[in-house]
Amino acid sequence: MADDAALESLRQTVARLEEQVSHLRSKAAVSEAHLEISNLQATYGYYVDKGLWDEAADLFTQDGTLEIAGRGVYVGQDRVRQYLHALPPYERGTIFNHMQLQPVIHCDPEAGTAKGRWRAFILIAWLGGEARWGEAVYENRYQLVDGVWRISALHAFITFYAEYDRGPNHGGVPMVRSIEGLKPDRPPSHDYEAFPEIFVPPFHYANPVSGKPW
């Protein structure tokens, strides 16, 4: 009887350890995905900073989408590439910084999907020409493809643009709602205007304390 009790105790201990190992593996997978997605989004920012449009487009899935500043949705990696190449070239006298900040990421490594909210601090300038600063909130989706995380949907909500030398207290620069010669595949997901108007980009997650959805 004593041997049976000892054997049962050992089985229970092994079962608890297996459960703990499974839990730790799950947490490790989420942490690893969080890090890889953070690096992916930061990499996108660095490529956009320097006008490396092909490198930035390569970060998207084949059916990935891009939507920026109410200009409509561009569907597929090739269309994302076309959109990016329609932006001004990076050349002497150009600043095109898009810093990727303040991530809130929710991952499902088993499903190979994730969602992330980011803030981009933007500074653009042309020597002897315009100089502006602004901010965008990203609500993005990601997908694991052949073991590598990619951007499956990038949606940048512009919250403000302002002339650098005057500042937002003098008002905002209206959003450019189209790219000349490049029509979107779908209309904008939201009809909104940036500062000084009020618009809160929708959250992909519920309040982590109250549980209230957005």
The candidate with the shortest Cα–Cα distance to 90, out of 67, 56, 66, is 56
Residue 92 · residue 50 · CB < 8 Å: no
Q: What is the pLDDT of residue 158?
A: 96
Question: Domains in the chain and their CATH numbers?
Answer: 2-170 (3.10.450.50)
106: Cβ contacts below 8 Å, ≥ 6 apart: 114, 115, 116, 204, 205
Q: What is the pLDDT of residue 137?
A: 98
* CA angle, 142 then 148 then 103, to 5°: 40
135: Cβ contacts below 8 Å, ≥ 6 apart: 119, 120, 121, 122, 158, 159, 160
Q: pTM (2 decimals)?
A: 0.89
- Evaluate if residue 2 carries a pLDDT over 80: no
Report which secondary-structure segment, H or E, holds 77: helix 77-85
Q: What is the pLDDT of residues 14-36, one digit of tens each?
A: 778 778 877 778 888 888 999 99
Which whole number is the average pLDDT over 185-192?
96
